[in-house]
Amino acid sequence: MTYFTKDYLDFFKELAANNHKDWFDENRKRYENVVREPFKIFIADVIAAVNEMDHEVVIEPKQAIFRINRDVRFSKDKTPYKLFNSAIISKTGRKDKSYPGMYIELNPERLAIFGGVYMPDKEQIQKIRTHIIKHNQKLKAILAEEEFFASFGTIEGQKYKRLPKEIQEAAKTQDLLYNKQWYYEFSLAPKTILQDNLLEVIMNYYKISHPLQKYLIAALQ
CB atoms closer than 10 angstroms to residue 118: 19
Looking at residue 72, its pLDDT comes to: 87
Number of domains in the chain: 1
Q: What is the per-residue pLDDT for 95?
A: 92
Q: Would residue 1 count as lying in a domain?
A: no
Question: pLDDT per position in the chain (221 positions), as tens?
Answer: 999 999 999 999 999 999 999 999 999 999 999 999 999 999 999 999 999 999 999 999 999 999 999 998 888 889 999 999 999 999 999 999 889 999 999 999 999 999 999 989 999 999 999 999 999 999 999 999 999 999 999 999 999 999 999 999 999 999 999 999 999 999 999 999 999 999 999 999 999 999 999 999 999 98
Contact status, residue 64 vs residue 75, Cβ threshold 8 Å? no
Report strand pairing: 182-188 vs 110-117.
antiparallel
Give the residue numbers spanning the domain of 64: 6-219
- Predicted confidence at residue 140, as pLDDT, reads 97
Three-class DSSP category at 100: coil
DSSP-H helix ranges across 81-197: 122-134, 136-144, 146-152, 165-171
pLDDT of amino acid 9: 98
Q: Please report whether residue 213 resides in a domain.
A: yes
Inter-residue contact 116 to 213 (CB < 8 Å)? yes
Instruction: List beta partners, residue 114.
Output: 103, 185
Give the model's pLDDT for residue 74.
86
Taking CA atoms, 204 is separated from 8, 22, 34, 46, 208, in Å, by 23, 40, 25, 11, 6
Q: Is 59 exposed, middle or buried (0-12, 13-18, 19+ CB in 10 A)?
A: buried
34: in domain: yes
Tell me the CATH number at 152: 3.30.930
The answer to whether position 72 is within a domain reads yes
* Any domain includes 58: yes
pTM over 0.85: yes
> What is the end-to-end Cα distance of the chain in Å, rounded?
37
